[in-house]
Chain A
Amino acid sequence: MWKKVYEWLDERLGLNDMYTNLLDRPEPTGNWWNTLGSASMFLFVMQGLTGIFLTVYYTPSPDHAYDSVQYIMEGVAFGWLIRGIHHWGATLMVIVVFIHLLRVFVTASFKFPRELTWLIGIGLFLATLGMGFTGYLLPWNQKAYWATTVGTQIAGSVPFIGEFILKVLRGGPELSALTLQRFFSAHIWMLPAVLAGLMGIHLYLIIKHGESHFPTKED
Protein backbone atom coordinates (compact mmCIF):
# COMPACT_ATOMS: atom_id res chain seq x y z
CA MET A 1 0.00 0.00 0.00
CA TRP A 2 2.63 2.55 1.09
CA LYS A 3 4.90 1.28 -1.64
CA LYS A 4 2.27 2.09 -4.23
CA VAL A 5 1.74 5.56 -2.78
CA TYR A 6 5.48 6.12 -2.78
CA GLU A 7 5.81 4.94 -6.38
CA TRP A 8 2.97 7.21 -7.46
CA LEU A 9 4.69 10.16 -5.81
CA ASP A 10 8.13 9.16 -7.09
CA GLU A 11 6.95 9.04 -10.71
CA ARG A 12 5.74 12.62 -10.39
CA LEU A 13 8.26 14.17 -8.00
CA GLY A 14 11.37 12.16 -8.77
CA LEU A 15 12.02 11.35 -5.12
CA ASN A 16 14.56 8.63 -5.91
CA ASP A 17 16.54 10.94 -8.18
CA MET A 18 16.53 13.59 -5.49
CA TYR A 19 17.72 11.10 -2.90
CA THR A 20 20.56 9.88 -5.14
CA ASN A 21 21.68 13.38 -6.11
CA LEU A 22 21.25 15.15 -2.81
CA LEU A 23 21.91 12.62 -0.08
CA ASP A 24 23.59 9.65 -1.77
CA ARG A 25 26.05 11.62 -3.86
CA PRO A 26 29.68 10.57 -3.90
CA GLU A 27 31.87 12.23 -1.32
CA PRO A 28 35.62 12.30 -0.95
CA THR A 29 36.87 10.19 1.92
CA GLY A 30 35.99 12.79 4.41
CA ASN A 31 36.37 13.60 7.99
CA TRP A 32 34.30 15.50 10.49
CA TRP A 33 35.50 18.85 9.24
CA ASN A 34 33.39 18.25 6.13
CA THR A 35 30.18 18.29 8.18
CA LEU A 36 30.46 21.91 9.28
CA GLY A 37 28.42 23.19 6.34
CA SER A 38 25.54 20.87 7.23
CA ALA A 39 25.91 21.87 10.86
CA SER A 40 25.62 25.53 9.86
CA MET A 41 22.48 24.80 7.88
CA PHE A 42 20.98 22.84 10.76
CA LEU A 43 21.65 25.78 13.07
CA PHE A 44 20.09 28.16 10.56
CA VAL A 45 16.91 26.07 10.45
CA MET A 46 16.91 25.83 14.23
CA GLN A 47 17.32 29.59 14.60
CA GLY A 48 14.56 30.10 12.06
CA LEU A 49 12.12 27.85 13.89
CA THR A 50 12.83 29.17 17.39
CA GLY A 51 12.84 32.72 16.01
CA ILE A 52 9.40 32.25 14.48
CA PHE A 53 8.17 30.94 17.81
CA LEU A 54 9.66 33.91 19.67
CA THR A 55 7.71 36.35 17.51
CA VAL A 56 4.52 34.89 18.95
CA TYR A 57 5.20 36.89 22.14
CA TYR A 58 7.99 39.34 21.37
CA THR A 59 7.03 42.96 20.68
CA PRO A 60 9.56 45.23 18.93
CA SER A 61 8.59 48.43 20.69
CA PRO A 62 10.59 50.29 23.33
CA ASP A 63 7.53 50.20 25.60
CA HIS A 64 7.12 46.46 25.49
CA ALA A 65 10.27 44.80 24.13
CA TYR A 66 11.93 44.27 27.51
CA ASP A 67 8.72 43.25 29.26
CA SER A 68 7.73 40.86 26.51
CA VAL A 69 11.13 39.16 26.71
CA GLN A 70 10.75 38.89 30.49
CA TYR A 71 7.32 37.40 29.90
CA ILE A 72 8.77 34.84 27.48
CA MET A 73 11.40 33.88 30.09
CA GLU A 74 9.12 33.70 33.11
CA GLY A 75 5.49 33.71 32.05
CA VAL A 76 5.16 31.34 29.10
CA ALA A 77 5.52 27.59 29.35
CA PHE A 78 8.93 26.59 27.93
CA GLY A 79 9.61 30.18 26.87
CA TRP A 80 13.01 29.88 28.56
CA LEU A 81 13.74 26.84 26.38
CA ILE A 82 12.78 28.45 23.08
CA ARG A 83 14.69 31.65 23.85
CA GLY A 84 17.58 29.68 25.33
CA ILE A 85 18.00 27.67 22.13
CA HIS A 86 17.78 30.85 20.05
CA HIS A 87 20.28 32.66 22.30
CA TRP A 88 22.91 29.92 22.46
CA GLY A 89 22.21 28.73 18.92
CA ALA A 90 23.10 32.21 17.69
CA THR A 91 26.51 32.12 19.34
CA LEU A 92 27.07 28.56 18.16
CA MET A 93 26.09 29.45 14.60
CA VAL A 94 28.63 32.26 14.38
CA ILE A 95 31.33 29.90 15.69
CA VAL A 96 30.39 27.00 13.41
CA VAL A 97 30.10 29.17 10.29
CA PHE A 98 33.46 30.71 11.06
CA ILE A 99 35.18 27.35 11.59
CA HIS A 100 33.55 26.17 8.34
CA LEU A 101 35.08 29.16 6.59
CA LEU A 102 38.48 28.48 8.14
CA ARG A 103 38.33 24.85 7.07
CA VAL A 104 37.60 25.79 3.47
CA PHE A 105 40.43 28.28 3.54
CA VAL A 106 42.96 25.94 5.12
CA THR A 107 42.20 23.05 2.76
CA ALA A 108 42.22 25.45 -0.22
CA SER A 109 38.76 24.28 -1.25
CA PHE A 110 37.96 27.70 -2.66
CA LYS A 111 39.98 27.14 -5.84
CA PHE A 112 38.61 26.48 -9.34
CA PRO A 113 35.79 25.65 -9.97
CA ARG A 114 34.55 26.65 -6.51
CA GLU A 115 35.41 30.36 -6.36
CA LEU A 116 31.77 31.39 -6.41
CA THR A 117 30.87 28.92 -3.69
CA TRP A 118 33.58 30.57 -1.58
CA LEU A 119 32.46 34.13 -2.33
CA ILE A 120 28.85 33.31 -1.58
CA GLY A 121 30.06 31.63 1.58
CA ILE A 122 31.72 34.90 2.60
CA GLY A 123 28.37 36.60 2.01
CA LEU A 124 26.70 33.99 4.20
CA PHE A 125 29.26 34.60 6.94
CA LEU A 126 28.70 38.36 6.83
CA ALA A 127 24.92 37.90 6.86
CA THR A 128 25.30 35.60 9.88
CA LEU A 129 27.26 38.32 11.69
CA GLY A 130 24.52 40.76 10.68
CA MET A 131 21.95 38.47 12.27
CA GLY A 132 24.01 38.44 15.45
CA PHE A 133 24.36 42.22 15.46
CA THR A 134 20.68 42.97 14.82
CA GLY A 135 19.41 40.26 17.15
CA TYR A 136 21.52 41.54 20.01
CA LEU A 137 19.49 44.75 20.27
CA LEU A 138 16.08 43.13 20.41
CA PRO A 139 15.90 42.28 24.17
CA TRP A 140 16.21 46.06 24.68
CA ASN A 141 18.11 45.76 27.95
CA GLN A 142 21.10 47.85 29.04
CA LYS A 143 23.63 45.56 27.40
CA ALA A 144 21.72 45.49 24.14
CA TYR A 145 21.20 49.24 24.08
CA TRP A 146 24.83 50.17 24.73
CA ALA A 147 26.27 47.44 22.54
CA THR A 148 24.24 48.81 19.64
CA THR A 149 25.20 52.37 20.52
CA VAL A 150 28.86 51.40 20.30
CA GLY A 151 28.39 49.13 17.28
CA THR A 152 26.66 51.80 15.24
CA GLN A 153 29.28 54.34 16.32
CA ILE A 154 31.96 52.06 14.90
CA ALA A 155 30.06 51.96 11.62
CA GLY A 156 29.87 55.75 11.89
CA SER A 157 33.66 56.07 11.98
CA VAL A 158 33.92 55.35 8.24
CA PRO A 159 35.53 58.37 6.53
CA PHE A 160 33.21 60.80 4.72
CA ILE A 161 30.03 58.68 4.67
CA GLY A 162 30.26 57.45 8.26
CA GLU A 163 27.67 59.79 9.66
CA PHE A 164 25.25 58.85 6.91
CA ILE A 165 25.76 55.12 7.57
CA LEU A 166 25.17 55.70 11.27
CA LYS A 167 21.92 57.52 10.58
CA VAL A 168 20.77 54.80 8.20
CA LEU A 169 21.52 52.10 10.77
CA ARG A 170 19.86 53.95 13.64
CA GLY A 171 17.04 55.46 11.62
CA GLY A 172 18.17 58.88 12.81
CA PRO A 173 21.02 60.38 14.82
CA GLU A 174 19.99 58.68 18.08
CA LEU A 175 19.10 55.15 19.11
CA SER A 176 15.31 55.12 19.23
CA ALA A 177 12.14 53.20 18.54
CA LEU A 178 13.04 53.45 14.87
CA THR A 179 16.34 51.67 15.52
CA LEU A 180 14.62 48.82 17.33
CA GLN A 181 12.00 48.47 14.62
CA ARG A 182 14.44 48.45 11.72
CA PHE A 183 16.79 46.04 13.48
CA PHE A 184 13.81 43.78 14.05
CA SER A 185 12.83 44.02 10.40
CA ALA A 186 16.39 43.27 9.28
CA HIS A 187 16.63 40.42 11.78
CA ILE A 188 13.44 38.59 10.86
CA TRP A 189 12.88 39.53 7.18
CA MET A 190 15.78 40.99 5.26
CA LEU A 191 18.78 39.05 6.53
CA PRO A 192 16.97 35.68 6.66
CA ALA A 193 15.83 36.25 3.06
CA VAL A 194 19.41 37.03 2.04
CA LEU A 195 20.69 34.00 3.95
CA ALA A 196 18.11 31.64 2.46
CA GLY A 197 18.73 32.88 -1.09
CA LEU A 198 22.51 32.65 -0.82
CA MET A 199 22.25 29.25 0.86
CA GLY A 200 20.20 27.99 -2.09
CA ILE A 201 22.95 28.98 -4.54
CA HIS A 202 25.67 27.73 -2.18
CA LEU A 203 24.02 24.30 -1.94
CA TYR A 204 23.37 24.11 -5.66
CA LEU A 205 27.04 24.77 -6.35
CA ILE A 206 28.15 22.18 -3.82
CA ILE A 207 25.93 19.55 -5.36
CA LYS A 208 27.01 20.54 -8.87
CA HIS A 209 30.76 20.44 -8.20
CA GLY A 210 30.86 17.90 -5.39
CA GLU A 211 33.11 18.45 -2.45
CA SER A 212 36.80 18.94 -2.89
CA HIS A 213 39.37 16.38 -1.85
CA PHE A 214 41.51 17.18 1.08
CA PRO A 215 44.91 18.13 -0.19
CA THR A 216 47.53 15.41 0.11
CA LYS A 217 51.20 15.84 0.83
CA GLU A 218 51.97 16.02 -2.88
CA ASP A 219 49.59 18.95 -3.28
Chain B
Amino acid sequence: MTDRSLPRKAPDLKRLLEPLVRHGVDFVLIGGMAGIAQGSAYPSFDLDVVYARGHANASRLVAALEEIGVRLRGAPPDLPFLLDSQTIENGANFTFITPYGDFDALADVAGIRSFDDLKSSATEMEIHGIGIRVASLDHLIAMKRAANRTKDKLMVEEYIVLADEQKARAREGKS
Protein backbone atom coordinates (compact mmCIF):
# COMPACT_ATOMS: atom_id res chain seq x y z
CA MET B 1 0.00 0.00 0.00
CA THR B 2 1.20 3.51 -0.73
CA ASP B 3 2.67 5.36 2.21
CA ARG B 4 0.70 8.60 2.36
CA SER B 5 2.34 9.88 5.51
CA LEU B 6 3.93 13.30 5.51
CA PRO B 7 6.92 14.66 7.41
CA ARG B 8 6.32 16.95 10.38
CA LYS B 9 7.70 19.90 8.49
CA ALA B 10 9.12 20.83 5.10
CA PRO B 11 12.94 20.75 5.02
CA ASP B 12 15.21 23.60 5.99
CA LEU B 13 17.09 23.91 2.73
CA LYS B 14 19.91 26.10 3.95
CA ARG B 15 20.75 23.77 6.84
CA LEU B 16 20.84 20.81 4.48
CA LEU B 17 22.51 22.32 1.42
CA GLU B 18 25.16 24.46 3.10
CA PRO B 19 27.13 21.54 4.64
CA LEU B 20 27.02 19.64 1.35
CA VAL B 21 28.51 22.60 -0.50
CA ARG B 22 31.04 23.46 2.23
CA HIS B 23 32.34 19.88 2.28
CA GLY B 24 32.65 19.93 -1.51
CA VAL B 25 30.13 17.18 -2.21
CA ASP B 26 29.59 16.73 -5.93
CA PHE B 27 25.79 16.64 -6.22
CA VAL B 28 22.78 17.81 -8.21
CA LEU B 29 19.44 18.83 -6.72
CA ILE B 30 16.59 16.76 -8.16
CA GLY B 31 12.97 15.96 -7.28
CA GLY B 32 10.19 18.32 -6.31
CA MET B 33 12.51 20.95 -4.82
CA ALA B 34 14.43 21.11 -8.08
CA GLY B 35 11.09 21.43 -9.85
CA ILE B 36 10.10 24.34 -7.61
CA ALA B 37 13.47 26.02 -8.20
CA GLN B 38 12.70 25.70 -11.91
CA GLY B 39 9.24 27.27 -11.44
CA SER B 40 6.91 24.42 -10.48
CA ALA B 41 3.90 25.25 -8.33
CA TYR B 42 3.58 21.79 -6.77
CA PRO B 43 4.65 21.40 -3.15
CA SER B 44 7.46 19.08 -2.15
CA PHE B 45 8.12 17.66 1.28
CA ASP B 46 11.69 16.43 1.14
CA LEU B 47 15.03 17.29 -0.37
CA ASP B 48 16.49 14.91 -2.96
CA VAL B 49 19.99 15.03 -4.36
CA VAL B 50 21.93 12.76 -6.67
CA TYR B 51 25.59 12.45 -5.65
CA ALA B 52 28.58 11.38 -7.71
CA ARG B 53 29.91 7.89 -7.12
CA GLY B 54 33.51 7.43 -6.00
CA HIS B 55 35.51 7.16 -2.79
CA ALA B 56 36.47 10.82 -2.50
CA ASN B 57 32.94 12.09 -2.95
CA ALA B 58 31.58 9.42 -0.61
CA SER B 59 33.99 10.67 2.08
CA ARG B 60 32.89 14.25 1.54
CA LEU B 61 29.25 13.19 1.66
CA VAL B 62 29.84 11.35 4.93
CA ALA B 63 31.46 14.44 6.46
CA ALA B 64 28.45 16.54 5.46
CA LEU B 65 25.95 13.95 6.69
CA GLU B 66 27.74 13.65 10.04
CA GLU B 67 27.51 17.39 10.46
CA ILE B 68 23.83 17.49 9.50
CA GLY B 69 22.95 14.50 11.67
CA VAL B 70 21.09 11.72 9.88
CA ARG B 71 19.19 8.54 10.63
CA LEU B 72 17.73 6.08 8.16
CA ARG B 73 14.10 6.97 7.54
CA GLY B 74 11.58 4.23 8.18
CA ALA B 75 14.18 1.82 9.54
CA PRO B 76 13.66 0.13 12.92
CA PRO B 77 15.42 2.17 15.62
CA ASP B 78 17.59 -0.80 16.54
CA LEU B 79 18.82 -1.39 12.99
CA PRO B 80 22.54 -0.68 13.05
CA PHE B 81 23.68 1.92 10.57
CA LEU B 82 27.33 2.85 10.31
CA LEU B 83 27.75 6.11 8.49
CA ASP B 84 31.07 5.85 6.68
CA SER B 85 32.31 6.02 3.12
CA GLN B 86 32.29 2.23 2.80
CA THR B 87 28.57 2.14 3.60
CA ILE B 88 27.91 4.87 1.06
CA GLU B 89 30.03 3.12 -1.58
CA ASN B 90 28.38 -0.23 -0.92
CA GLY B 91 24.91 1.26 -1.16
CA ALA B 92 23.31 3.67 -3.57
CA ASN B 93 20.13 5.31 -2.41
CA PHE B 94 19.73 6.48 1.19
CA THR B 95 16.59 8.03 2.63
CA PHE B 96 17.31 9.96 5.80
CA ILE B 97 15.51 11.79 8.51
CA THR B 98 17.47 14.77 9.84
CA PRO B 99 16.85 17.53 12.38
CA TYR B 100 16.16 19.75 9.36
CA GLY B 101 13.68 17.56 7.52
CA ASP B 102 13.64 14.55 5.24
CA PHE B 103 16.67 14.23 3.00
CA ASP B 104 17.37 11.65 0.29
CA ALA B 105 20.88 11.08 -1.07
CA LEU B 106 20.67 9.00 -4.23
CA ALA B 107 23.18 7.57 -6.66
CA ASP B 108 21.00 5.32 -8.75
CA VAL B 109 17.97 7.09 -10.19
CA ALA B 110 15.75 5.73 -12.95
CA GLY B 111 15.43 8.00 -15.96
CA ILE B 112 18.97 9.37 -16.07
CA ARG B 113 21.83 7.81 -17.97
CA SER B 114 24.62 8.91 -15.66
CA PHE B 115 25.51 11.45 -13.01
CA ASP B 116 27.76 13.23 -15.51
CA ASP B 117 24.89 13.50 -17.97
CA LEU B 118 22.63 14.91 -15.24
CA LYS B 119 25.30 17.33 -14.06
CA SER B 120 26.27 18.56 -17.53
CA SER B 121 22.78 19.87 -18.26
CA ALA B 122 21.99 21.07 -14.74
CA THR B 123 21.46 24.78 -14.10
CA GLU B 124 23.62 26.66 -11.61
CA MET B 125 21.33 28.48 -9.20
CA GLU B 126 21.86 30.46 -6.05
CA ILE B 127 19.57 29.32 -3.25
CA HIS B 128 19.76 31.62 -0.23
CA GLY B 129 23.33 32.53 -1.09
CA ILE B 130 24.38 28.94 -1.77
CA GLY B 131 25.40 28.06 -5.30
CA ILE B 132 24.09 24.64 -6.30
CA ARG B 133 23.34 22.68 -9.43
CA VAL B 134 19.66 22.07 -10.14
CA ALA B 135 18.59 19.32 -12.54
CA SER B 136 17.30 20.46 -15.91
CA LEU B 137 13.59 20.26 -16.64
CA ASP B 138 14.39 17.67 -19.33
CA HIS B 139 16.01 15.42 -16.74
CA LEU B 140 13.26 16.08 -14.19
CA ILE B 141 10.73 15.03 -16.85
CA ALA B 142 12.73 11.87 -17.58
CA MET B 143 12.96 10.96 -13.89
CA LYS B 144 9.27 11.61 -13.29
CA ARG B 145 8.37 9.55 -16.37
CA ALA B 146 10.45 6.69 -15.03
CA ALA B 147 8.87 6.89 -11.56
CA ASN B 148 5.41 7.05 -13.17
CA ARG B 149 3.26 7.37 -10.03
CA THR B 150 0.09 9.43 -10.34
CA LYS B 151 1.77 12.49 -8.83
CA ASP B 152 4.73 12.04 -11.14
CA LYS B 153 2.46 12.00 -14.17
CA LEU B 154 0.88 15.28 -13.05
CA MET B 155 4.32 16.77 -12.59
CA VAL B 156 5.45 15.61 -16.03
CA GLU B 157 2.54 17.55 -17.53
CA GLU B 158 3.47 20.63 -15.52
CA TYR B 159 7.19 20.38 -16.30
CA ILE B 160 6.44 20.16 -20.04
CA VAL B 161 4.34 23.33 -19.79
CA LEU B 162 7.05 24.95 -17.68
CA ALA B 163 9.76 24.10 -20.22
CA ASP B 164 7.64 25.75 -22.94
CA GLU B 165 7.14 28.80 -20.75
CA GLN B 166 10.86 29.05 -19.95
CA LYS B 167 11.72 28.88 -23.65
CA ALA B 168 9.10 31.53 -24.47
CA ARG B 169 10.58 33.78 -21.79
CA ALA B 170 14.09 33.19 -23.09
CA ARG B 171 12.93 34.24 -26.55
CA GLU B 172 11.40 37.39 -25.06
CA GLY B 173 14.60 38.07 -23.17
CA LYS B 174 13.07 37.49 -19.74
CA SER B 175 14.88 35.42 -17.11
- Our verdict on whether A and B bind, yes or no, reads no
Residue numbers of B with Cβ under 8 A of A are: none
